[in-house]
Amino acid sequence: MITVLLAIFIPFIAACLVPFIHKILTGRRIGWFVITIPLFLFILLIRLVPSLSNGASYLYTFPWIPSADVYFSTHLDGLSMIFALLITGIGSLVVLYSIYYLSEREAIGRFYTYLLLFMGAMLGVVLSDNLIVLYVFWELTSISSFLLIAFWYHRKQSRYGAKKSMLITVTGGIFMLVGFLMLYTITGTFNLQELISMREVIAADSLFIPAMLLVLIGAFTKSAQFPFHIWLPDAMEAPTPVSAYLHSATMVKAGIYLVARFTPVFAGDTTWFYVVSCVGLLTMLWGSVNAVKQTDLKALLAFSTVSQLGMIMSLLGIGSLAFASSESTQIALFTAATFAALFHLINHSTFKGSLFMVVGILDHELGTRNIKRLGGLATIMPITFTIALIGSFSMAGLPPFNGFLSKELFFEAMLSLKEANLLSMDSLVLLFPIIAWVGSIFTFIYCMIIVFQTFFGKVHAPAPGQRPAHEAPIQMLISPMVLGSLVVLIFIFPNLLGTYILGPAMNAVYPQYEGMPGLVPEIHVWHGWEMPIFMTIGVIIIGILLYGLLRYWKWIYSVGFLQWTLDRLYNALLQRIERVASVVTKTYMTGSVRDYVAYIMLFFIALVGIGLLGFQQFIFDFSDDAVIEINESIIIFVMMCSSVAILFAKSRITAIILNGVLGYSIAILFVVFRAPDLALTQIIVETVTTVLFLLCFYYLPEWKNEYKSVSMRIRNGLIAVASGVAVTVIALLVQGHSMYPSISIYYETASRLAGGLNVVNTILGDFRAFDTMLEVLVLFIAGLGVYSLVKLRRKKGVDHPEEK
């Protein structure tokens, strides 16, 4: 399906074009080019919604690395569609918002390049069907997130946050990759659709649980689940459009996507349910409790995102129970949880996106986002206030906003757990609704903090360097206004979303229940005096009470274990790793070149040694050897003696002369071995070399006996002898194994092909003439080097860096 491919590649192509187009569309006008891309893709995708709701899905494959079973296959179904629409839809709004958010002085071109890179990567994650392709795009989102968080790289905190998010998400990604590889060893395929159809095979394998946990670690790190959530608050150093886009609406939901996508594969086992829902609930509670104590509005939103992601995650966990049940009423109960998860996913993107944009506006117009410095803005910034009110109340789960609907569904799903026949963990499961309820109370409290502490109370006089409060320009308000109105519209027409968007997604998560009545429940604003509504009323009453008494109980945040943060653990761990790594590195990176030469030789010896151990056929065949004549053996004897003698030479002149002896002896050997050209060349070269040595000898100081320590002498001696032995053994073995016939016969046609009678000459000058030409080039370069080393003098007044 070409649309899907277009959706992935257009952002990448546009990302490459941005730097060039930025030259024409200077300043912030480049944004108008960028915005066309998500907008175009959004329209392209939304046109496919009707056919998807009729049960169609688009699979397209072309081979990428077929030998490793890697096919670039894309698959667009209901689940991918939700995410793709969020990525392109929110993407358009964020780009629009960023056009006026970023100052003209910033590196806008770079910003949009990264943003488009992210968009393409994220679309790749949700649209690819092959696990390896998915993994590649997954890591690409981590990288683009890193680049965007570090956009203001001159700030230390930005760099810290970027590195932290990168380390945590990429580490998780590697775990996930290992999980994928395990799945491959079980099934022999990387294709998601095939994996889903082989779920019985996977469930029966002993690698089932490890693979599941590894994939979950990937999802949890990306979706900022406890205890990996610590990167998200630090990621708030990114420009606010990035926080709104990556760190609330899209990238952090990649983990949710992964869990939903793998539900059909893994959900048959209750381990999946326990891990996903417990981690999700814990994250929800931890995030909401921590959000209350934040004073930076963006940090508060970050923790609230953590909490909301946990809530969606726990719902997906409950939804997985549908695979373990057999009665149709139970199945409908549990599938409703997944439905709630997907519904809340969309709702969260709308209200959290608008809230981030509101905070960005406050930051932009007032120069601060510290709650303690804000207050009384309701009358000064009425539109911003309205949007913040809608967003916060929706997040708190109040009507008439979409958050109310999904919160009700959330409570309902939590309560449905008591229907599950889980063997031993009944008491734990009964705790779930209580934890969910407590988490919701804290959610309510921080939502009230956003609204009341920012927009009511007394107006703070602007601090030095701060501008007086005023309403934001209308261009910046459009995007949050669109999202705010969506919050209300979804509340009014929830079932439109349910039928067209959520329905196909449910079919993708529950392929075997496709078309089952009740799989796509109708959403009612009012469903009678039942438990969920009582829970909501309880949340509101206790939430208001606690919010009012906030200053009396806020002290609990300053005592006990709540002070202890995972951040400290992360920092300490990172420091420890860096220290150990530096110690380990320093033990072998000594800075001495001779040590490195020793490593190279040792590696060579080890390689040859291990190779020989595995190589069993030690055939030394001496039968083909040529006869040795007396004069030859004398020459060889002389060579051996003189080479060894070099080692013991007291003066340089002895060593140079001994080297000369070696060179001329080789020339004689060349004569003996029927190589006249070599002999001639060797004699000339050896003469010139010796002269050169003597020339340098004139200038260089006498050498000293350089080995002071015996152990060093022994070490080097052992390495040297071992290298010699290794070379000898290999050479002897090669002579014993004549595996291929010589190709030299070909060159004996030289007189016909090259018109020469000297075979060596024709090889050099004709058959391998290019080699010779390059050899001449090497000589030329070496000559230039020699000339410049001798002739060039340092300019006076220019200090040599080493002397400083």
Partner 1 sequence: METLITLLVGVLVAVGVYLLLSKEMLRIILGTAILSHAIHLLLLTMGGLKKGDVPLLTETAAEYTDALPQALILTAIVISFAVTAFLLVLSYRVYQESGRGPRLRGRQDE
Mode of pairing for the β-strands spanning 70-76 and 58-65: antiparallel
* Closer residue to partner 1 (CB): 24 or 778: 778
Show contacts with partner 1 in window 531-590 (CB under 8 A): 590
Instruction: From 258, 259, 10, select the one nearest 134 (Cα to Cα).
Output: 258
Taking CB under 8 A as the rule, does residue 779 contact partner 1?
yes
The HSE-up count of residue 167 (CA atoms within 13 Å, CB side) is 15
CB of 293 to partner 1, least distance (A): 54
The Cα–Cα gap between 804 and 793 comes to: 19
- Does 612 contact partner 1 by CB under 8 A? no
- Near partner 1 in 489-508, by CB under 8 A: none
Number of residues located near partner 1, criterion CB under 8 A? 100
Q: Is residue 634 a contact point for partner 1 (CB under 8 A)?
A: no
CB of 610 to partner 1, least distance (A): 19
706 binds partner 1 (CB under 8 A): yes
Q: Which of 70, 485, 652, 657 binds partner 1 (CB under 8 A)?
A: 652
The answer for residues whose C-beta is within 8 angstroms of residue 283's C-beta and 6 or more apart is 224, 225, 226, 229, 306, 307, 309, 310, 313
Closest CA to 45 of 107, 13, 92: 92
Site for partner 1 in 250-279 (CB under 8 A): none
Binding residue for partner 1, selected from 2, 204, 593, 630, defined by CB under 8 A: 593
Query: Within 614-633, which residues bind partner 1 (CB under 8 A)?
Result: 622, 624-628, 632-633
Residue 484 or 660 having the CB closest to partner 1 = 660
The answer to whether the beta carbons of residues 670 and 682 sit under 8 Å apart is yes
Candidate segments 14-22, 110-118, 166-174, 651-659, binder of partner 1 by CB under 8 A: 651-659
Amino acid in position 253: K
Helix (H) or strand (E) holding 195: helix 192-197
Q: Which stretch binds partner 1 (CB under 8 A): 126-134, 487-495, 534-542, 593-601?
A: 593-601
Helical pair 593-614 and 710-736, crossing angle rounded to 10 deg: 40
662 binds partner 1 (CB under 8 A): yes
Residue of 222, 224, 199 lying closest to 212 (CA atoms):
199
C-alpha torsion angle, residues 262, 267, 271, 272 (rounded to 10): 40
User: Among 434, 606, 725, 769, which residue interacts with partner 1 (rule: CB under 8 A)?
Assistant: 725
Which residues, 742 to 761, sit near partner 1 by CB under 8 A? 742-744, 747-748, 750-751, 757-760
> Residue 324: CB partners within 8 Å, gap ≥ 6?
267, 268, 269, 270, 273
Q: Is 782 in the site for partner 1 (CB under 8 A)?
A: yes
Q: Of the candidates 647, 653, 714, 769, which one interacts with partner 1 according to CB under 8 A?
A: 647
By three-state DSSP, how is residue 473 classified?
coil
CB of 653 to partner 1, least distance (A): 11
Whether 61 and 71 have beta carbons less than 8 Å apart is answered as yes
Which span sits near partner 1 by CB under 8 A: 36-44, 205-213, 531-539, 728-736? 728-736
* 654 lines the binding site for partner 1 (CB under 8 A): no
Question: Is residue 293 near partner 1 by the rule CB under 8 A?
Answer: no
CA atoms within 13 A on the CB side of 471: 15
Q: What angle do CA 85, 16, 118 make, to 5 degrees?
A: 35
The residue behind tokens 């060593």 is: 655
Instruction: Please report how close the Cβ of residue 617 comes to partner 1 at its closest, in angstroms.
Output: 18
Residue with tokens 């030998």: 67
Q: Which stretch binds partner 1 (CB under 8 A): 151-159, 293-301, 339-347, 682-690?
A: 682-690
785 binds partner 1 (CB under 8 A): yes
Q: Is 327 or 595 the residue whose CB approaches partner 1 more closely?
A: 595
What's the closest the beta carbon of residue 589 comes to partner 1, in angstroms?
A: 12
Q: Indicate whether 696 belongs to the interface with partner 1 (CB under 8 A).
A: yes
Is the four-CA dihedral 90, 91, 95, 96 of positive or negative sign? negative
> CB of 183: closest distance to partner 1 in angstroms?
49
> Which of 643, 654, 657, 668 forms a contact with partner 1 (CB under 8 A)?
643
Q: Which is nearer to partner 1, 534 or 787 (CB)?
A: 787
777 binds partner 1 (CB under 8 A): no
Output the six-digit token pair for 789. Answer: 């080393």
The piece of 366-374, 413-421, 481-489, 653-661 that touches partner 1 (CB under 8 A) is 653-661
Stretch 196-215 residues interacting with partner 1 (CB under 8 A): none
CA dihedral 728, 733, 739, 745 (to 10 degrees): 40
Residues between 352 and 381 that touch partner 1 (CB under 8 A): none
Tokens representing residue 273 in the block: 């349910």
Decide if residue 668 touches partner 1 (CB under 8 A). Answer: no
What token pair was written down for 513?
A: 């229940």
Of residues 307, 293, 299, 270, the one with CA closest to residue 424? 270
